[in-house]
Amino acid sequence: MVQVKSKRAASSAKSKATPKSAPTPAPVKAANPVVSETPELDEVWARFKATNDPVLKNRLIETYYPLVRYISERLLATLPRSIEVDDLCSAGLFGLMDAIDGFDMGRGIKFKTYCGMRIRGAILDELRSQDWVPRLVRLKANKIARAMKALTARIGREPTDFEMAEELGIPMQEYKEMAEESNAVTMFSLNDKFDDGDDDGGLENSEIVADVNSDTPIGLAFTGCPASANSPNPSACSHTAETVNST
């Protein structure tokens, strides 16, 4: 009986001495900026609409610019890593200026709601103008991506081409053509990191691209001559011929 109590006391003491792991912090989300609709700001609006003073316009731009940053950061989460948030903010800033010029105070709409749509629209228009992929091909690629995501979640593995064609409700040949067209949608930068799961941060894509003109390890191992590594006939190398004759 004493032995059991001592074991319980030891286990309780061990649990007290062992520090508990800290809880994993929740991901930080971009806070929605609060723009106060104060009487002073209403006066600035009234004076700007009456005089179109550029100084007052700059003041309004500075007041509502946090909305541009907020919308840009939210859109950036859905875009490739090659897109910079500063580029989105630049496009959104033009949308904000257009919204300030075109805002009608007599309609009873809050400017924050109105300019949010204009900022988002300006950013999307800029992204579409820089997209080298035709819109129809982009729509097909998004359709395939949505179907693959839904099918993978349902069956618990990567679907086959036949299952994808069945999910989309199209013939197999049509799905292959659609998939081949959508392959041209994705572009990768050679400066992006290739994440191989190591802790060193991974290599750049440029470091893992095959160089067809480099010396192959097999050719160097058998001949010791870099010139013969890429040659279809290693025996044609003078270094190899000298080695064979000496033996």
Read off the pLDDT band of 129 (50, 70, 90): confident
| Higher pLDDT pick, 170 / 194 | 170
| Higher pLDDT pick, 82 / 60 | 60
Read off the pLDDT of each residue in 210-215 and give the average, rounded to a whole number: 70
Residue type, 139: L
Residue type, 55: V
Q: What is the pLDDT of residues 15-33, one digit of tens each?
A: 444 444 444 444 445 566 6
Read off the pLDDT of each residue in 44-66 and give the average, rounded to a whole number: 92
The distance in angstroms from the start CA to the end CA of the chain is 85
Lowest mean pLDDT among 97-106, 156-165, 173-182: 173-182
Read off the pLDDT of each residue in 27-43 and give the average, rounded to a whole number: 69
- The answer to whether 99 touches 111, Cβ cutoff 8 Å, is yes
CA distance 183 to 173: 16
Residue type, 146: R
CA 125, chain centre distance (Å): 18
Read off the pLDDT of each residue in 201-228 and give the average, rounded to a whole number: 64
Return the pLDDT at 113. Answer: 85
| Higher pLDDT pick, 226 / 144 | 144
Tokens of 130: 């820089």
Report which listed range, 26-30, 106-110, 135-139, 182-186, is most confident. 106-110
| Higher pLDDT pick, 236 / 170 | 170
Read off the pLDDT of each residue in 116-136 and give the average, rounded to a whole number: 85
CA distance 89 to 246: 71
- The answer to whether 99 touches 115, Cβ cutoff 8 Å, is yes
CA 183, chain centre distance (Å): 17
